[in-house]
Structure 1
């Protein structure tokens, strides 16, 4: 039996295709290893591959293991408009997901990152999808502190269902 779990990248990455593959690999690893806690942060998540079947399948597998996901965004409008598979998945697993809106940061200042206790990824240049990833403790601690500060100054957003009359 061979291990099909992707090896997570450590070091710099550049370009939209590398960024998207890094996210796919991270979510596959999260499902395989049952990561209990993830924080995703992006101004709008427009260029994250959340509409892809492979990504949502990884999220289904991950969610069955009972993890928690915190999402931080400036706006979820693009997710609602362009990521239908993810929106449907989010509705099913609302009890595991906390979505927050951070209006205090400008789009240009908003961290684009995925954090876990074991590994982290951050885009330093969102326009070029360039950044760095790895499991170094200092990288993870600094990113976690920044994301926690953003969460503290945020408010609930992106409800799983829209109630109306």
Structure 2
């Protein structure tokens, strides 16, 4: 039994799909709330693959106990969480509980580092993305502007293509353990 199994069940209630509203959010508090709800919902109802992109994930609520428990239940062997960040050091410092979850669930994680030059600057690119195909697309454009779309296949396909292009040029990073000499 590991630490995730022995923890008491989180008290947070599941996020109903209708609790999320499509639209543009323009305050830090709204963005934090919608990102937290989106992460929770995708962990509870997400399919085989989840796609997350951020410069370092330090501002994401990845230490949230209810979210980690939902991700623990989601992390079956046939599932994949694709992580793209420029650097994972801030995540390691800000979210040691997520780092532990990552270590326990290495079998579902594909984590890569991307170069900011790989972002297509000819058009606006979000600074953060959460994609759960068949469920939602969350895009953060700035610290005070984000958008959410629900079950829009065209938007999902566009974001997936954009994500895949960056992932293909990225390098493996954020290993489940660090080896030293």
Q: TM-score, normalised by structure 2?
A: 0.79
Aligned residue number for residue 131 of structure 1: 146
Q: Note the residue ranges of structure 2 that are not aligned, 5 or more in a row.
A: 1-12
- 1:121 aligns to what? 138
* Residue 155, structure 1, aligned to residue 167, structure 2: no
C-alpha contact (below 8 Å) 1:74/1:105 kept by paired residues: no
Are 2:118 and 2:169, in contact at CA under 8 Å, matched by a contact in 1? Answer: no
Partner SS state of residue 117, structure 2: coil
Does 2:56 align with 1:40? Answer: no
After TM superposition, the score normalised by the length of structure 1 is 0.86
Aligned-residue CA RMSD in angstroms?
2.3
Structure 1 residue ranges without an equivalent (≥5): none
Q: How many residues align?
A: 161
Residue pairs, 1:54-93, within 5 angstroms: 54-64=66-76, 66-93=78-105
Deviates more, 1:78-87 or 1:16-25: 16-25
Q: Secondary structure at the match of 1:81?
A: helix
**Residue from 3, 16, 19 that aligns with 1:6:** 16
Point out the structure with max Rg over C-alpha.
2
Instruction: Tell me the equivalent position of 2:9.
Output: none
Distance apart, 1:76 and its partner CA: 0.4
